Amino acid sequence: KIRDIYDMCRLDKAWFVERLSPWCSVFSRGELQVLEYAEDLDYYYSTGYGREVNRVIGCFPLQDMMDHF
């Protein structure tokens, strides 16, 4: 899978910053940017503000604190 190769690329690059990873060499710079953006979107919609429950989960405790402070 492409995502698995991309994950190996990222991990290899994190460990060996100074050298070109063989896993990364199969991708062009543009393809790496697209994969990075896709990962950012995935995190945004699964664990970030893009998911409704994550967006509002802090509102109730904060509102309660403000009401009783």
pLDDT of residue 15: 94
CA–CA dist 66, 60 (Å, integer): 10
pLDDT band at residue 14 under the 50/70/90 scheme: very high
**Structural domain boundaries of the chain?**
2-67
- Asked if 26 contacts 7 with a C-beta cutoff of 8 angstroms, the reply is no
Write out pLDDT tens, residues 16-25: 999 989 999 9
Write out pLDDT tens, residues 1-12: 899 999 999 999
Write out pLDDT tens, residues 26-62: 999 999 999 999 999 998 988 887 787 777 777 788 8
Phi, psi of 6 (to 5 degrees): -65, -40
18 Cβ contact partners less than 8 Å away, ≥ 6 residues apart: none
- 3-state DSSP helix/strand/coil % of the chain, to nearest 5: 70, 0, 30
